Chains A and B, each alone.
Chain A
Amino acid sequence: MFANYDKIIERISLNQLWDFPGGVHPPQQKTLSNQSSIEYLQVEKTYYVPVKQHIGIEGKLLVCEGDKVLKGQALTTSEAPFSVPVHAPTSGAVTKITNHVSAHPSGIPELSVIIDADGQDTWIELDPVPDYAKTSKSELIERICDAGISGMGGAGFPTHIKTNNSKPLEFLIINGIECEPYISSDDRLMREHAWQIRQGIDILVHILQPKQVIVAVEDNKPEALETMSIACQQKINYQVVSVPTKYPAGGEKQLIQVLTSREVPANGLPIDVGCIMYNVATCYAIADAIVEGKPLIERVVTLTGEGFKSPKNVWARLGTPIQSLLTYGDYDQSQQSSPRFIMGGPMMGFTVTSMLTPIVKISNCILVPADNELPHPEDERACIRCSACSDVCPASLLPQQLFWYSKAKELEKAEEYNLFDCIECGACAYVCPSEIPLVHYYRQAKADIRNQKEEKEKSDKAKIRFEARKARLLKEKEQREEKHRLAAEARKASLSTDGGGTKDKIAAALARAKAKKEALAKQEALAEKEALAKQEALAKQAPHIADLAESEKTKAVSVSEVSTEVVASQTAQGASPAKDSPEDDAAANEETKEL
């Protein structure tokens, strides 16, 4: 099935790699930005730090508006396993915690901490690990989490989750491919900070204990290959590999296939085939976190495209609005007829919706193309079934079928054709002669499927609640009827005993009165006596009825307290005694009326 370990090692040492299906060769354009070293930026006035910058759940806020924060201070804390904290990029004051435009294609505002810098840029007290080799794995993993590290290659998966691995690991793969055109942030990082990346790898090796480390760099970055080779040369089980340039060789599954010939199963993880992969920037951040105690507050961002007069790489703090980066790269407005800024590369990036969009942990590039550099998307034409898309799909899918099913909203069919294996690399859209924005359709279809699944869950829940309520109402009704029946019986019983006697008395009195009337014997005194007797009888009856009504009321309350399953039903029940009591009063009235 899979190539075994020794075979892979042998092929790698001979530099005979495998290949992944499909792929494209877009013009590289890397020299635009990779000629000069990474520049440090001045401290910004204002930073917009989104609370959630990774896949998973956002952390819990630790600061309030008005708080003073120091550089590197945690703004959120990781509570759930899938949450990763964010940190203050500089010292200053939290001016606002509000929704701010997100670094997402939609630009939908998301909760962000807005920090005004005080210009001092004072660090919090750093707490480095003196000797990581003597530190327990769990503590190192916790520190990686606390430093806010999530995958910096693109997906933003929480690094501590990936690192908390208990399965046997053969290959620790360090991804320095950077296959997307234009971007050179990892390239510069490897050239300038190979040693720190090596430190990060050492820490990962200590935690994960892999059999072999493979550092993969695309062969269009000879300098980075060299620096990484020098940095890793003393370690016998570290191998720096030059991978042929092809897009998207940097995709996780694709790179594993190239290096080991193993295919990650459709719903599986790389660990299922004995691999774990980290981006070089993530390794750098891990070294920062463990060796220096610094949380992740900045990353290398490529400023590139012909719209910049001086394209370059910069260390941008997380939360820097792209508007300031444009100034650093000398944005040349004359190159663009209408402003167009792309976050990410030309294949997988997106056009930002606002100049205040912040840099987040996964933003590796700001691309500002000149008008003729990247054409605006043209109108799509009909699919001519050329199948060029299936030839280039690195996931061996059928993009054309996926496109049809996605467009026709036949989502089940699209799922059957493995829509969720699509890595959204854009290779298919790149070659499509009909200019169909294929990935866009896939993304829509994926979002629709996810939303529908969620809706289905919700509707199932609603159904359960609806039925529970119906059952409860029925039960209540039965109880009420039972109560009324009991009350009626009690009434009947009381009428047949003493109630009957009263009636007789009244009848007798009436008869006597009639007799007296008929006899025309106007003995008023006697009549008065009779009337008194009648009143007395009534008075004797009344307290008894009141008692009866009272006991029923308490019964109703106790019944309603028993059936308290649902919270809402509880409160609805709470209201029911009040609702029931008028009925009881009415019942009591009825009884007095009958008399």
Chain B
Amino acid sequence: MTLTVFALAAIALLALIFGALLGFAAIRFKVEGDPLVDQIDAILPQTQCGQCGYPGCKPYAEAIANGDDINKCPPGGETTIRELSALMGVEAKPLDAAHGVEDVKKVAFIREDECIGCTKCIQACPVDAILGAAKQMHTILIDECTGCDLCVDPCPVDCIDMVPVEVDSSHWEWKFNKVPVGDIPIRQMS
């Protein structure tokens, strides 16, 4: 009888100790998990163009976290969709054409002699990539421009063009079909 009581007491004691230990560990070593929205936001291209129908990448990230489709981001294209599908564990779908198509990378360019200095584009640019002041000629910081297209419509004199970014040889993707000739002769007859 005493043996049973003793055994029960010992087990209860052990349970208490380990319970306390586990509880302590749960608080002390709590891992601050990367919230889902931030993870999604990190995948999105941060163009801030709003083509997805949300006012920026973060809001779309929030929407995805709440179950919206992952194929609404044209600037991110296939790569982004694939990464999102891996993160969210959902099927990768082709890009939803209703939101636009994947395009070559572009940056905005202001035809400076036509600019009237209305500052409208400055107010539209989500990343402050336009430099200018009222009644002064405006210009675009190419390195900062995300190519979101948002400054084109507000311009009253239509002096903003979206020009494709020129590839140089160090960014070239080894796609031979884009150049007339050229291939690597890596096979020699033996």
Chain A contacts to B: CB under 8 angstroms: 26-27, 102, 104-108, 110, 181, 342, 346-353, 367, 369, 372-375, 377, 409, 426, 429-430, 435, 437-440, 443-444, 447-448, 450-452, 454-455, 458-463, 465-466, 468-469, 566-569, 571-572, 574-575, 578-579
**Residue in A108, A346, A367, A369 whose Cβ sees the most chain B Cβ within 10 Å:** A108
CA distance A468 to B45 in the complex (A): 17
- Pairs across A and B, CB under 8 Å, 14 listed: A106-B182, A108-B167, A108-B172, A346-B186, A353-B182, A374-B187, A377-B186, A437-B183, A454-B171, A466-B48, A567-B131, A568-B131, A569-B128, A571-B131
Q: Is B91 an interface residue (CB 8 A)?
A: no
Contact indicator per residue, chain B 169-187, by CB within 8 Å of chain A (1) or not (0): 1011111100111111111
8 additional A-B pairs beyond A347-B188, A571-B131, beta carbons within 8 Å, are: A351-B181, A353-B180, A375-B187, A377-B186, A454-B171, A459-B46, A469-B126, A572-B128
Known contacts A353-B181, A567-B131, A568-B128: does B187 contact A447 (CB below 8 Å)?
A: no
User: Contact: B131 with A439, CB < 8 Å?
Assistant: no
Contacts of B181 in A (CB 8 A): 107, 351-353
Q: Is B190 an interface residue (CB 8 A)?
A: yes
Contact of B189 among A349, A367, A374, A465 (CB under 8 A): A374
Chain B contacts to A: CB under 8 angstroms: 41, 44-48, 56-57, 79, 119, 122-123, 125-134, 136, 141, 144, 146, 167-169, 171-176, 179-190
User: Contact: A440 with B169, CB < 8 Å?
Assistant: no
CA distance A313 to B25 in the complex (A): 74
User: Contact: A429 with B130, CB < 8 Å?
Assistant: no
Contact of A439 among B79, B130, B186 (CB under 8 A): B186
CA distance A566 to B168 in the complex (A): 30
**Residue in B79, B127, B186 whose Cβ sees the most chain A Cβ within 10 Å:** B186
CA distance A107 to B179 in the complex (A): 8
User: Contact: A448 with B186, CB < 8 Å?
Assistant: no
Contact of A110 among B79, B131, B169 (CB under 8 A): B169
The 9 lowest CB-CB distance pairs between A and B, nearest first, are A568-B128, A459-B46, A462-B46, A465-B127, A104-B169, A574-B133, A426-B186, A429-B186, A575-B119
User: Contact: A571 with B122, CB < 8 Å?
Assistant: yes
Residue of A nearest to B129 (CB): A568
Contacts of B48 in A (CB 8 A): 462, 466
User: Contact: A347 with B186, CB < 8 Å?
Assistant: yes
Residue of B nearest to A567 (CB): B131
Known contacts A350-B182, A350-B184, A377-B187: does B131 contact A459 (CB below 8 Å)?
A: no
Contacts of A459 in B (CB 8 A): 44-47, 146
User: Contact: A351 with B46, CB < 8 Å?
Assistant: no
Contact of B182 among A107, A367, A567 (CB under 8 A): A107
Contact of A572 among B123, B141, B172, B187 (CB under 8 A): B123
Q: Name the distance in Å between B146's Cβ and chain A's nearest Cβ.
A: 5
Contacts of A369 in B (CB 8 A): 185
User: Contact: B122 with A572, CB < 8 Å?
Assistant: yes
Known contacts A452-B79, A465-B144, A571-B131: does B184 contact A105 (CB below 8 Å)?
A: yes
CA distance A369 to B185 in the complex (A): 10
Residue of A nearest to B47 (CB): A462
User: Contact: A465 with B185, CB < 8 Å?
Assistant: no
Contact of A574 among B126, B134, B168, B169 (CB under 8 A): B134
Q: Name the distance in Å between A434's Cβ and chain B's nearest Cβ.
A: 11
User: Contact: A26 with B141, CB < 8 Å?
Assistant: no
CA distance A567 to B132 in the complex (A): 10
Contact of B127 among A367, A462, A578 (CB under 8 A): A462
Q: Name the distance in Å between B126's Cβ and chain A's nearest Cβ.
A: 5
Contacts of A454 in B (CB 8 A): 171
Contacts of A460 in B (CB 8 A): 46
CA distance A541 to B141 in the complex (A): 50
Known contacts A437-B184, A437-B186, A462-B46: does B169 contact A102 (CB below 8 Å)?
A: yes
User: Contact: B134 with A578, CB < 8 Å?
Assistant: yes
User: Contact: A351 with B126, CB < 8 Å?
Assistant: no
User: Contact: A26 with B128, CB < 8 Å?
Assistant: no
CA distance A451 to B165 in the complex (A): 13
Contact of B133 among A375, A466, A468, A575 (CB under 8 A): A575
Known contacts A465-B144, A466-B127, A575-B134: does B119 contact A444 (CB below 8 Å)?
A: no
Contact of A466 among B46, B130, B169, B183 (CB under 8 A): B46
Q: Name the distance in Å between A533's Cβ and chain B's nearest Cβ.
A: 45
Contacts of A349 in B (CB 8 A): 184-185
User: Contact: B185 with A377, CB < 8 Å?
Assistant: yes
User: Contact: A466 with B168, CB < 8 Å?
Assistant: no
Contacts of B46 in A (CB 8 A): 459-460, 462-463, 466
Known contacts A351-B183, A435-B187, A466-B48: does B171 contact A447 (CB below 8 Å)?
A: yes
User: Contact: A462 with B146, CB < 8 Å?
Assistant: yes
CA distance A578 to B117 in the complex (A): 13
Q: Name the distance in Å between B58's Cβ and chain A's nearest Cβ.
A: 8
User: Contact: B169 with A108, CB < 8 Å?
Assistant: yes
**Residue in B130, B141, B185, B187 whose Cβ sees the most chain A Cβ within 10 Å:** B185
CA distance A578 to B187 in the complex (A): 68
Contacts of B122 in A (CB 8 A): 568, 571-572, 575
User: Contact: A465 with B175, CB < 8 Å?
Assistant: no
CA distance A578 to B118 in the complex (A): 11
Q: Name the distance in Å between A453's Cβ and chain B's nearest Cβ.
A: 12
